[in-house]
A and B are shown apart, each in its own frame.
Chain A
C-alpha cells in the first residue's frame, strides 16, 4: 500500500526548505557540496577528477554520469527536478531536452523548444486532495473495520452458542441411539425384522439430527447480515429456490417460501426449511450435499468442522510474530477468523459482457451476462502480496483449463475502502484475471500526523 502519510510528510518538509540554492543544473540539494564552483570536480564514484568547467558541459566524462547532472550526455545520469509545490523527483537524464515535459517545474526542458507549463502547484494541490481523501477513507475504513471485528466477534459467539445447542441436541439423539442400541443388543436372537426396525429407527434419528444441524447451518449461511433473521433479500441470492423454476425468482415467490412474511427467525425457519431443503444449494460449495443413505452405525463422534483447511495452513506460516511491522497482517488474521461474517456474501462485478463473482476464501467465477454456463476462474489458493504487505493480494488458482493454455487463475488486489466491494475485473493475460477489491478489512490505523495537514497547504 502506498504510504501517503510519508508523501505528505515530504511535501510538508519541502515547504520549509524550498529556498533556491545555487548549484549546477540537475543537482539535488543533498549533493550540492560535491559541486563547488571553480574547484576541480571529482566524479562521485571517485574514478577521476576533472576541471569544474566540464561539469554540465554536455560531454560525459565520469563513468557514473555524475559530471553531467543537467545534460543528457551520460547514458546513466539522472536529473533532479525541485518541483516546488509538488514533490521533487529524479528522472533519467535521457529525458532532458527530449521535447517531452517530465518535471512539473519544466526544468528538464530548458533547450528543446518544448512549451512546458509549470503544473507543480496544480499537481500538488491535487495530490493533497487525493491524500486527504485517502486518509479520510483510511480513517473511516479503520473505524468500520473495528466495528466489523466487534460484530464478527459477537456473531461468532452466537454461532458458538448455537453450535453448542446443536451439539447438545445431537448428544441427546446419540443417547437415544445408544439406548436403542442397547435394546438391540439385549435382543437375544437378532431376528431379521427386529434388526430392520432398529436400523430404521437409527436412520430416522440420524437424519433428523443431520437435518437439524444442516438447518442451523443454512440459517446462518442465509442470514447474510447476521441480524438473526432470514429475509426475502437473503433468499433471493439463492435462485435455485425459485418455486416454479422459471428462471426468475421474484420477491413474491421468496415471500411465499417464508410463509408470507418478510423475514423469519430461527424458530420460524424450521417450517421454511422443510419447503426449501430439497432445492437448497450451499454457498460454500454450490454443489448439492450428497444424501448419504448408506451411512454405517456411527463409530465415533465426528465433530462439525467450521474452519477451512486453507486457513489452518496460513496459521502454520513460519514467519509469524512480527506483529509490529505488519499490523495489517494481524487484523487480516483476525478478520479471517471471522470471515464468515466479513466475507459471507458474494461480491459481484459486472463487465459489459460477463458477471464476475468473488466468494472470498472460496472461489471466483465468471458467467456470461446473457446466458451460458459458469466458468471457474480459480479456487482460493494463498496470499501472494509482497513481503511487506502479504495480505494485499489473494490468489485463486486451478480454475477451468484454457484451450492450449493454463488453468484459469485470479489475483484479487485488496485496497482500503469504506465499502467492501469489487471495483473491477479484467483479464490482463489470457486466462489470468485481476480483480480489484476494496474493503475496510485492510485499512491501517491512520497516523496521528494527519490532522495537522490542513494547516500547511502553502508550500
Chain B
C-alpha cells in the first residue's frame, strides 16, 4: 500500500502526478549537509599522532588530531576475515557517547592478525596478509591508502574531507543547533554531530548500490546536483531518475572495473548523503583529450552522515562474488522464504470483504490462472487497528482463511507500526502501559498522524519491545489468524503524515538516543520483530514471510522488500529493473515492484508487459491503489487474460529454479536477479546495462518495457557462450547484440549453454498443489558439449532444511552422459517427484539412450529428435528425482 497522504496533505498535490519536491529536503535545506558540502577538497586539518599508536594482534589504534581545534579522534583499524578492512573513527573523549549501530552485523566480525611492515615519522605500513595487500597510514596530513602490489585500491581522506563535528556545549551558531524545515522545528539538543569521509577509487568508472533510489543501475556523478540521499521516507508519487531518498537505505557501494570489484559499507543509520564525482565525466574527458589517455580514470566518493560515528567496512573483492560473500559475512544472507512466496501474489488496496476475497479467488480458478497469496491492505482492519478485523466486512476471518487452506492458498494481511491512540484498543493500551512508545522531546509519548488518525509509534529499537511485538503474532493473541496468514509491514520509514518530510521528528527519543541517530534502522527492526513473531507462533518450525517497505543493511535476513508506491507508467516498469538490481547487489535479493503500477490505471498493454516482466523478478505481486479501477487479470478480454495467464504460468514452471536460486542466495549472499557484469566482470559492454538481467547464472531476461515495441535488442554476453531462446530453442552466440522481434506474447528469455535448469511443467492452481509433480530437465549444451546444474528439494516451508532435511543433486552432462550425483550426502529427504522428461538443447541424434539407476538396473529410454533445432527429448525416463542415476546417449 499506501502512501497517499491524508487528504489535507494531498489536496495541495491534486492535479499533478509528480512528487512535491518541496516536501523533501535538498542538501541545502539540511543544515549538516550544506555545512559539510561547503568544505572543498584540500589539505586535511587532521594529523595522525603516531606516538599514540597501539598495535595488538587484532587491531591498530591511534589518535588523530584536528590542528584547527585540537579535538582528538580515535582511529581503530581492523583486518577482518575474508579480505575486509574495518576503519572506525570516533571522538577520543566525546561529551557523551555517540551512537554506534547495533544489531545489523550478524556478529562481531572475526579478525585476522595485522602485522607492521614498516614505520617512520611519516606513517606506518601494515600488512593485510595475502597478495601483498597493505594499508599505509600517513600521518601529516592523515590519510589511508590500501595497496595491492603497486596499485592503490582505495584511498581514504586523500581529498582531505574527513570531518568530525565533535559534541560541544551549546553556543549560538547558525543552523548548528535548532533548525527548521517548513513548519517543523528540530531542536537538535546535541548540536552539530555530523561525520564525513572521502574515498578515492583509482581506475574505477562504475559505481553501484546505495539503494534505494529510482535511478539507473550505474550511479551518476552528483557534481551538478544533490548528492544521493539515504533517509527512509514515504515519498508520495516518487519521481524517476534522481537522487532523492526513498523508503529504504542500504549504505553500501560497489566499485567495479574489469580487473577488480571493491565495496564500501558505511555503517551509519542517520540521514546520509553520498557525493560521487569522476574525472572521466565531461570535464575529465576534455582532460583526456588534452593530455592524452595517460591519466587513470578515477571515481571519488564522499559520505556525509548527520550523527553517529565513522564505521566503514572496506571490502576488497577482488571478484563480484567475493564482495557478496564479504558483505554476507557481515550482515548475513537473504532469508530462505517458503516456496509459495516465490509464486504469484494478488494484492489490491483493498479487497473489500470476505465475499470479494472469495470471488477473486474463484476468478483465478475460473480463468485457470495460478496464484498463491491474496493480500489485504489496511481496510481489512477495524478502524486501522492492526491485529484486528473489520467486524462487518471481515466478520469471520478464520472461515475465509480456511477457504484458502482448502485451495492450498495463503493470505497476507497488513500490520503497520503506527498504533491508533485509543484506550479501547488492547495493543495501544499494552504498549502505553509498558512504556514502549517512542517519546517526544519533552518526554511524553510521541504522537503523529497516520492512517488511524492520531497514532503512537512503538520503539522497535528496544529488544523487549520487539519480543512483546513478536508475541502478538501468537495464534491466541492475533485473533482470526491462522498458519496460512502472513504479514506485510508498510509505512515503517516511519511514515508520519504531519511530521517533517512525512516522517518522525529527529528529536523524538528512543531511550537515550535521538530518532536522528536511529532513523534508517526503524523499518529494519519492525520487519525483524514481525518475522520473529511468525517464527515463534509456529514454535520455530515454519519459515516466515514478511514484506517490508522500509529497510536497511541486513534487512535481507527478514524477508522481502518492494519498491513502494510506483505508478502505472512505462518508465516505472523500466525502473523496476535497476531498482531491484541495485538492491540485489547489496544483499537484498527478494525484491519486486507493484505489477501494473500502484498509482493510476495502466493501459492493457502496460499491464500485460508488467506481468511479463514481474514474472521474471524475485517478488511477483500485482497491486493497485484504492482509487484505481479493478484490474484482476481477467478483466481485459480473453486475449489479454491469456497473455497474463501465460506469463504467470511461465513463472510457475520455473519455480524449482527460483527456489534453488533462493537456496543459493541464502547460502552465499549472491544476488538472484543480477546485473550482467556480475557474471561477465571483464566485459565493459555489460557494465551499464540495466534493461536486461540475469536470474542466477543461467537465465538471461530482456523484458519488453517499451510501449508498442516491435522488437528489443538484447546483449548476449560471453564470447564463448551460447544462449538458447527458452521458447523456440533457437541457439545464439554470445558477445553480440541480438535483435529480437516481439509480439504481445513475447518475453525474451535465454538459457545459457552449459546449464541445466529444472522445471515443473504441470502448472496447477497454486505452487503447493505442484509439490509432488515431476520435473522436466532442460539441458543446454555449451560448445564443449557439457552442461551442469543443480536440483534442490525440501519440504518447501519449514526450517527442517537446517537439520539437513533436503535433497541437493548435482546434475552434469559430459561425454554424452547426463548424471545426477548427491551433493549433500549427509542430508536426508525423500521426494515423490520424478523426472518425466529431459530436453537436451544443442544435441545430436543418438542411436540409443540408456538409463542406469542406483541398483544397477539399465533400461532403454525412448526419445525424439528434432533435427532442425537440434533438440533431443527423452521420454519419461521416470526415475525418482532424489536418487543417483545416469543417462547415456550412444
Contact = CB atoms under 8 A, between A and B. Distances in A.
Interface in B739-769: 761-765, 769
A445 interface: no
Contacts of B761: 75
B728 interface: no
A430 B630 CA distance: 8
Given A73-B762, A94-B762, A426-B352, A100 B627 contact: no
A370 interface: no
A185 B406 CA distance: 90
Contacts of B762: 72-73, 75, 94
Contacts of A92: 368
B392 interface: yes
24 contacts: A59-B875, A72-B764, A72-B773, A73-B762, A75-B763, A94-B762, A94-B764, A94-B769, A95-B764, A98-B408, A98-B765, A99-B408, A100-B408, A403-B7, A403-B14, A403-B627, A404-B627, A406-B629, A428-B630, A429-B628, A429-B629, A429-B630, A431-B627, A432-B630
A402 interface: yes
B356 interface: yes
Contacts of B763: 75, 94
B352 A98 contact: no
B188 interface: no
A405 B406 CA distance: 37
Name the 10 nearest CB pairs between A and B, nearest first.
A98-B769, A429-B630, A405-B627, A59-B876, A94-B764, A430-B627, A429-B629, A98-B764, A72-B762, A352-B392
A314 interface: no
Interface in B519-559: none
Interface of A: 57-59, 72-73, 75, 92, 94-95, 98-100, 352, 402-406, 426-432
Contacts of B368: 92, 94
Contacts of A404: 14, 627
Given A94-B763, A428-B352, 9 more contacts: A75-B649, A94-B368, A98-B408, A99-B408, A100-B407, A100-B769, A404-B627, A426-B352, A432-B630
A177 B761 CA distance: 88
Contacts of A427: 352
Nearest to B11: A403
Contacts of A72: 762, 764, 773
A94 B765 contact: yes
B372 interface: no
Interface residues on B, range: 20 to 34
A322 B688 CA distance: 64
B796 to A, nearest CB: 14
Contact of A99 (B14, B356, B769): B769
B406 A430 contact: no
B836 interface: yes
Contacts of A352: 392
A270 B106 CA distance: 89
Mostly, the B contact residues are loop
A92 B769 CA distance: 14
B626 interface: yes
A430 B408 contact: no
Interface in B823-863: 836-837
Interface of B: 7, 10, 14, 352, 356, 368, 392, 406-408, 626-630, 649, 761-765, 769-770, 773, 836-837, 875-876
Contacts of A99: 408, 769
Contacts of A98: 408, 764-765, 769-770
Contacts of B875: 59
B406 A100 contact: yes
B772 to A, nearest CB: 8
A427 B7 CA distance: 20
A129 B243 CA distance: 66
A177 B628 CA distance: 59
Nearest to A430: B627
Contacts of B765: 94-95, 98, 100
A427 B355 CA distance: 12
Nearest to A76: B368
A364 to B, nearest CB: 18
Contacts of B628: 405, 429-430
Interface hub of B7, B408, B649, B765 (most chain A Cβ within 10 A): B765
A352 B407 CA distance: 31
Contacts of A94: 368, 762-765, 769
A81 to B, nearest CB: 15
Nearest to A427: B352
Contacts of B352: 426-428
Contacts of B392: 352
A57 B769 CA distance: 20
Nearest to B360: A428
Contacts of B836: 58-59, 73
Contacts of B406: 100
A59 to B, nearest CB: 4
A447 B869 CA distance: 60
A429 B627 CA distance: 8
B1 to A, nearest CB: 14
A300 B84 CA distance: 98
Contacts of B408: 98-100
Interface hub of B407, B630, B649, B769 (most chain A Cβ within 10 A): B769
Contact of B629 (A57, A100, A432): A432
Given A94-B762, A426-B352, A402 B876 contact: no
Contacts of A403: 7, 10, 14, 627
Contacts of A428: 352, 356, 630
B15 to A, nearest CB: 9
Contacts of B649: 75
A426 B393 CA distance: 11
A268 B138 CA distance: 110
Interface hub of A403, A406, A427, A429 (most chain B Cβ within 10 A): A429
Nearest to B353: A426
Interface hub of A58, A404, A428, A431 (most chain B Cβ within 10 A): A404
B831 to A, nearest CB: 15
Contacts of A426: 352
A430 B629 contact: yes
A100 B769 CA distance: 8
A431 B837 CA distance: 50
A72 B392 CA distance: 41
A347 to B, nearest CB: 21
Contacts of B407: 100
A430 B762 CA distance: 37
B29 to A, nearest CB: 28
Nearest to A426: B352
A149 to B, nearest CB: 35
Nearest to A102: B365
A80 B436 CA distance: 60
Contacts of B356: 428
Nearest to A92: B368
A370 to B, nearest CB: 15
A99 B763 CA distance: 14
A366 B456 CA distance: 34
Nearest to A74: B762
Nearest to B630: A429
Nearest to A94: B764
Nearest to A112: B772
Given A92-B368, A99-B408, A402 B627 contact: yes
Contacts of B630: 428-429, 432
A213 to B, nearest CB: 45
Nearest to B15: A404
Interface hub of B10, B356, B762, B769 (most chain A Cβ within 10 A): B762
B397 to A, nearest CB: 18
A353 B409 CA distance: 32
Contacts of B837: 59
B834 to A, nearest CB: 9
A63 to B, nearest CB: 13
Nearest to B393: A352
A45 to B, nearest CB: 17
